[in-house]
Amino acid sequence: MTTLLSNADQGYAVAPNDGTDLPTRPRAIYVGGTGDIVATMGGADLTFKAVPVGAWLWISPTRIKSTGTTATLMLALY
């Protein structure tokens, strides 16, 4: 059984988009380039400010918005 605490065994590069959900809901986001991330979670947009290089966000968003997101090189792991 896979849970939020299970190790991720798949992933993909995140392409922020205001109108399209992520292809698979991740268990975590890895950030390769510093900046802000606007993530849609529970129907609300949340802004994670000044996320540093190499950070892990232990979130399961449905979407990463392009408007307001300045972080780069993000990977979604699931």
CB 65 within 8 A of CB 45: yes
pLDDT band at 26 (very low <50, low <70, confident <90, very high): very high
Residue 9, in any domain of the structure: no
Residue 11, in any domain of the structure: no
Residue 37, in any domain of the structure: yes
Residue 1, in any domain of the structure: no
> What is the rounded distance in angstroms from the CA atom of residue 5 to the CA atom of residue 65?
25
Does the pLDDT value for residue 6 go beyond 90? no
Q: What is the side-by-side strand order in the sheet with 35-41? A: 44-51, 35-41, 63-65
* Mean pLDDT of all residues belonging to the chain: 95
- Note the pLDDT of residue 52: 98
Please tell me which residue, 8 or 45, carries the higher pLDDT value.
Answer: 45
Global pTM value:
0.92
- Note the pLDDT of residue 4: 65
Residue 10, in any domain of the structure: no
Residue 13, in any domain of the structure: no
Question: Whole domain around residue 54: which residue ranges?
Answer: 18-77
Does the pLDDT value for residue 5 go beyond 80? no
- Per the structure, how many domains does the chain have? 1
Q: Let me know the angle formed at the C-alpha of 60 by 58 and 64, rounded to the nearest 5 degrees.
A: 105
